């Protein structure tokens, strides 16, 4: 059994808590929140499942990229976890503000659909960055004697 220092325990707790917050928002709260913007159950379901859809693409790409990179004392995966986690947290916090941004007028798309474009982009981006951080952290070796 590996003994963790107090700092490592707190860092692990912070990461586990933030993954829980993301999961709670993405799985339970977001669909309720989206009903104020659209009544399309198809769109609400698609946006609520972006983590799964994106994860099937992001996980192998980001994993391959992290296996071929090295960031000194941070190692191979920690830069992806750090940057992906921080960007995801920032984007999820800004999503309500982004949803209220005016969208450009596109003549070929109905106005009520155009209003959803900033919101859709924000959700896709925060789940994309979360997938980068979370999927790579799941692939981080945890046994002694294996490099990180």
Express each pLDDT in 75-121 by its tens digit: 777 777 788 888 888 888 888 888 888 777 767 767 677 788 888 88
Q: What is the pLDDT of residue 141?
A: 57
Q: What pLDDT, in 10s, does the model give residues 121-148?
A: 888 888 888 888 877 666 655 554 444 4
Rounded to 5°, angle at Cα 99 from 52 and 49: 10
Instruction: Give the pTM.
Output: 0.73
82: nearest Cα among 66, 64, 95: 66
Q: What is the pLDDT of residue 148?
A: 47
148: nearest Cα among 90, 85, 72, 88: 72
**Cβ neighbourhood burial of 148 (10 Å; 0-12, 13-18, 19+):** exposed
Q: What pLDDT, in 10s, does the model give residues 35-76?
A: 888 888 888 888 888 877 787 787 778 777 877 888 777 777
């Amino acid at each position: 059994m590996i003994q963790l220092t107090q700092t490592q325990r707190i860092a692990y707790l912070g990461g586990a808590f933030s993954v829980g917050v993301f999961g709670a928002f993405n799985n339970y709260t977001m669909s309720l929140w989206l009903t104020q913007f659209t009544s399309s159950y198809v769109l609400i379901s698609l946006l609520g499942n972006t983590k799964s859809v994106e994860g099937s693409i992001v996980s192998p790409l980001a994993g391959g990229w992290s296996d071929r990179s090295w960031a000194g004392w941070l190692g191979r995966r920690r830069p992806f976890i750090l940057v992906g986690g921080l960007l995801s947290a920032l984007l999820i916090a800004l999503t309500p503000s982004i949803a209220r941004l005016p969208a450009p007028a596109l003549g070929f798309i109905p106005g009520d659909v155009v209003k959803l474009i900033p919101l859709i982009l924000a959700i896709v981006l925060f789940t994309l960055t979360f997938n980068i951080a979370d999927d790579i952290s799941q692939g981080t070796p945890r046994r002694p004697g294996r490099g990180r």
